[in-house]
């Protein structure tokens, strides 16, 4: 299956609307998130997205309310990043990674970080 960028965007948008976009962080120490973090590390997701999904060489994925189907679409049929087919990363493992990414806590607000708050001027 090949998808153009535009098609991807349409599918993702439609999926988001259909599934909603509520972010529900998983509890600390939850097995699924622990396993998800291990997979996130071993499959090298952190190389481009950072250990906490903050982004770097690639886009931030933390605190973005993708439903799983949209997340999977990005991973299977990406625009820039390497594609991860099911034989490399099963749906089950992908879901665990997804759970981990969703569990990453929100960062502190800007006004709680003096080094950044000062930069608002």
Which residues in this chain contact other proteins in the complex, by CB under 8 A?
42-44, 46-48, 50-57, 60, 62-63, 80, 82-85, 87-89, 107-110, 113, 115-116, 118-120
Q: Counting beta carbons within 10 angstroms of the beta carbon of residue 64, is it exposed (0 to 12), middle (13 to 18) or buried (19 or more)?
A: middle
Q: How far is the CB of 25 from other proteins (least distance, A)?
A: 14
Q: How far is the CB of 23 from other proteins (least distance, A)?
A: 14
Specify the residue, 27 or 111, whose C-beta has the smaller distance to other proteins: 111
Q: Which residue has the tokens 């607000």?
A: 109
Q: How far is the CB of 94 from other proteins (least distance, A)?
A: 13
**Burial track 39-51 (b if 16+ CB lie within 10 A, e otherwise):** bbeebebbeebbe
Cα atoms in the Cβ-side hemisphere of radius 13 Å centred on 46: 11
Q: How far is the CB of 90 from other proteins (least distance, A)?
A: 11
Specify the residue, 20 or 80, whose C-beta has the smaller distance to other proteins: 80
The C-alpha atoms of residue 5 and residue 54 are separated, in whole angstroms, by 23
């Amino acid at each position: 299956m090949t998808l153009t960028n535009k098609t991807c965007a349409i599918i993702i948008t439609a999926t988001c609307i259909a599934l909603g976009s509520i972010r529900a962080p998983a509890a600390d120490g939850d097995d699924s998130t622990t396993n998800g973090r291990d997979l996130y590390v071993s499959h090298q997701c952190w190389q481009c997205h950072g250990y906490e999904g903050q982004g770097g060489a690639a886009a931030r994925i933390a605190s973005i309310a993708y439903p799983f189907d949209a997340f999977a679409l990005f991973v299977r049929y990406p625009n820039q990043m390497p594609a991860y087919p099911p034989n490399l990363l099963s749906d089950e493992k992908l879901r665990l990674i997804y759970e981990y990414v969703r569990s990453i806590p929100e960062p502190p607000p800007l006004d709680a970080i003096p080094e950044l708050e000062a930069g608002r001027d």
